[in-house]
Amino acid sequence: MTGPVFKLKKGPILRWSRGLHAAEAAVATQVGGMLWGDVGAAKAAAVVLGAGMAWELSNKYIVKGPHQYADMWDWLAFVAGTLATGAIRSIL
C-alpha cells in the first residue's frame, strides 16, 4: 500500500477553485440538458462526475509540490454543481 488517495488540502473549505469546479459541473450539465433534454443532462452529469474524479486522481501525476493527492472537497464541488443544476432543472 502506498498511502491514502484522498487528503484534505490545508486552508478553508470554501475557496474560489472549488467554486470553479462547481460552476464547470453546473454549466456542463445544463448544456447537456439544453442540447439533449433531461437524458442529456443526466449523461452530462455522469461524464462531469467521472471526469472530476479522474482529475482529482491525476493530481498524483501532474501536481508538483506538497499536495499530490485527490481532495474530496474538490470532487464534492463537482457533485454540488451537477446536483444544483439538476434540482433547478426539475423545478423549472
Q: What is the pLDDT of residue 61?
A: 84
Report the alpha-carbon distance of residue 58 to residue 36 in Å, rounded. Answer: 30
Give this prediction's pTM. Answer: 0.86
Quick one: cell of 3? 498511502
23 within domain boundaries: yes
How many CA atoms lie within 13 Å of 43's alpha carbon, on the beta-carbon side? Answer: 10
> Which domain range does residue 41 map to?
16-91
Q: What is the pLDDT of residue 15?
A: 94
10 within domain boundaries: no
Mean pLDDT of the chain: 90
33 within domain boundaries: yes
Q: What is the pLDDT of residue 65?
A: 75
Count how many domains the chain has.
Answer: 1
Greater confidence (3 vs 12) lies with: 12
* Tens-place pLDDT, residues 33-74: 999 999 999 999 999 999 999 988 888 788 787 767 888 899
Q: Answer yes or no: is pLDDT of 17 > 60.
A: yes
